[in-house]
Amino acid sequence: MSNWLSVMGMLFLTGIGSKAWFSAHFTHAWVLWSFAALLGANMAYFAATGNRSAQKSGMLVIVSALFAYLIVTGGENNTGPLWLYVFPPLLFYLSSLRVGTAVLILCATIAAIVFAFPGLPMVTAEYHTDFKIRFFSTLFFESIFCYVLEASRLKARNELVKQADSLERAARTDELTGISNRRDMQSRLQTEFSRYQRTGHHFSIALIDLDLFKNINDSAGHDAGDEVLKQFTDLAQSVIRQSDVIARWGGEEFLILLPDTSLLQALALAERLRSEVSSHNFEFRDTPLPVTISAGVCSIAKSGTLDELLRQADAHLYNAKETGRNRIAPRVRTYDHPLPEPIET
């Protein structure tokens, strides 16, 4: 958009400069052509650097100088100040409300000084009192109008951005527990797998299922089941490391992504979590609820693809369920020692 504004400005200044030339206002024509050249140079700078912020700042400086010139000299037939009416919308578009207001006040101050002291050096224009009053009245009204419109536009834009962010978070977050959902975890797995392919950094996963969870729903109600899911989530987040990510995989199943973690380290963490859950007092409305977990653990080092990784973790989970529940597969000794920290590479 800035480039289009620059092109239109160059064409306009070139055309008005040509008109001034044929009207024998040669100095005025050369000045207008010079401003057109400055806009072209500003575009060339942007094309070379890609710095859009500098391009907008340069355009503001050029346009401000142009309008100051038109006010001081009057342009042709003292109509130069009229072009200041295009300045407020352009100014607020190219800058922030605060900067735009400051620059607009500066330009209006320059116009007021020129109007009040026509005998100043370089001031060659003289304006009637009626023109001055009408000029400032209409400019003030237009400036306020443009400010309100731009403020409304920015407010609406910010609200849309917040809504989009909120919807994006909702699409990636489990509503009940507040942790990642399956969709978000699949994205994280793909990212971690890509990192593994680039750098060779291993990672592991733990697929967890709450044992006999249906019995809790049937005996104590779904509200009790929901409370167990939330309490388990809080407990799991207190056990895993800050770099680990837990997601609700579906129903009473959870999946933990363990970056930079070997199979042995992942088994140790899963066993620690199993032990914590087994000893934790889950309750709902002062009624204790027996809760244990089973987990299947797998490392990417043992798999070729993400699908294979998930299939192996699911197979290990099934094995843990079939062999008695409240256990980890592959089998690991009961948790007794702190989880070994992963080696940073």
- Burial (0-12, 13-18, 19+ Cβ within 10 Å), 157: exposed
Please tell me the distance from the alpha carbon of residue 267 to that of residue 247, in angstroms, as a whole number.
18
Query: Regarding beta strands 282-284 and 245-250, do their DSSP bridges make them parallel or antiparallel, or are they unpaired?
Result: unpaired
Burial of 342 (0-12, 13-18, 19+ CB in 10 A): buried
Ramachandran region, residue 260 (left: φ > 0; alpha: ψ -120 to 50; beta: rest): left
Contact residues for 265 (Cβ-Cβ < 8 A; gap 6+): 204, 258, 339, 340, 342
Q: Is the peptide bond before 121 cis (omega within 30 degrees of 0)?
A: no
Q: Is 271 a catalytic residue?
A: no
Helices 2-22, 26-49: inter-axial angle, 10-degree rounding: 160
Where are the extended beta strands (E) located within 117-241? Answer: 203-210
- How many whole angstroms separate alpha carbon 321 and alpha carbon 293? 9
Catalytic one of 150, 192, 227, 252: 252
User: Do residues 327 and 274 touch, judged by C-beta distance below 8 A?
Assistant: yes
List all residues 6 or more positions away from 280 whose beta carbon is below 8 Å from its beta carbon: 231, 235, 291
SS3 17: helix
**Catalytic positions:** 252
